[in-house]
């Protein structure tokens, strides 16, 4: 793995990262799963939607996420239409209203490094000039997001003693239960981690996070210290 990492922030008005088990009333994860982050990065660098996932297998790509704004969820009714039932869009009369769950005012910090030097450099160049090949969004195409390059920093192992972790933490990396501090709000969600060649999720992980973006005090393996002073665990 490279000894440096790209750090950038993304934010928007709303986000929706659909939980795969929710159907008639879609629910959202509190922050983007690794698969959604792969799609976001793929959009910025211009990878084809049908094959971007091939560039983000865990053996090549390391991605971390930090919650920067408290997670707030709202439900909004969306009018869905059946585009197959009419030849012209303006002739569609039937509407089905579904209540979607959204994250309100989301903001996340993304950490990224990759074994492909060319892809890594392209992302860095685009972020520094605030450009993207395709429009980045937070889960759904209508949920357009903004982004800002934070910097490129060194990356080194941070040991496995009890430390304060800035990012969300995969449960499988915890060496013992974390120190739950009074006043903080801890949650965990089982999220998709990687897709295979057939665009089918091949790996799920339980991810621990603090709802307000506070640090998690824990003993974790695969803990990394970023040059800006933050400590993270990759998803």
Tokens of 149: 């390059």
Domain 4-11+34-71+107-233, CATH 3.30.70 — does that match?
A: yes
Query: 2: number of CA atoms within 13 Å, CB side?
Result: 21
Q: What is the pLDDT of residues 173-190, one digit of tens each?
A: 999 989 999 999 999 999
Q: Distance of CA 23 to CAs 54, 99, 192, Å?
A: 27, 11, 17
Percent of the chain residues past pLDDT 70, beyond the cut: 93
Closest among 119, 193, 150 to 10, alpha carbons compared = 150
Phi-psi region of 151 (alpha: psi -120 to 50; beta: other; left: phi over 0): left
Q: What is the pLDDT of residues 42-61, one digit of tens each?
A: 999 998 877 778 888 889 99
Q: What is the pLDDT of residues 111-152, one digit of tens each?
A: 999 999 999 999 999 999 999 999 999 999 999 999 999 999
Mean pLDDT for the chain?
Answer: 90
Mean pLDDT of 58-65: 93
Determine the pLDDT at residue 7: 97
115 by DSSP, 3-state: which?
coil
CA dihedral 94, 97, 102, 105 (to 10 degrees): 70
Tokens of 201: 């999720």
Q: Distance of CA 132 to CAs 2, 95, 146, Å?
A: 23, 34, 10
Q: What is the pTM of this model?
A: 0.91
Q: Does the pLDDT of residue 86 top 70, yes or no?
A: no
């Amino acid at each position: 793995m490279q000894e440096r990492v790209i750090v950038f922030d993304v934010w928007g008005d709303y986000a929706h990262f659909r939980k795969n088990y929710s159907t008639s009333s879609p629910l959202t994860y509190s922050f983007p799963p690794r698969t959604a982050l792969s799609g976001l990065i793929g959009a910025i660098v211009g990878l084809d939607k049908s094959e971007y996932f091939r560039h983000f297998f865990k053996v090549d790509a390391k991605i971390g996420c930090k919650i920067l704004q408290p997670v707030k969820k709202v439900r909004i009714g969306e009018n869905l239409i059946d585009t197959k039932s009419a030849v012209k869009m303006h002739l569609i009369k039937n509407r089905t209203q579904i209540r979607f769950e959204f994250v309100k005012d989301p903001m996340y910090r993304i950490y990224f490094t990759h074994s492909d030097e060319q892809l890594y450099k392209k992302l860095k160049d685009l972020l520094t000039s605030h450009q993207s090949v395709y429009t980045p969004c937070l889960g759904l195409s209508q949920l357009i997001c903004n982004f800002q390059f934070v910097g490129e920093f060194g990356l080194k192992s941070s040991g496995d003693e009890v430390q304060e972790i800035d990012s969300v933490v995969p449960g499988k990396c915890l060496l013992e239960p974390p120190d739950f501090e009074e006043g903080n709000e801890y949650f965990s969600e089982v999220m998709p981690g990687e897709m295979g060649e057939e665009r089918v999720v091949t790996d799920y992980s339980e991810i621990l996070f603090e709802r307000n973006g506070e640090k998690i005090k824990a003993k974790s393996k695969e803990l990394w210290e970023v040059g800006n002073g933050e400590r993270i665990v990759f998803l």
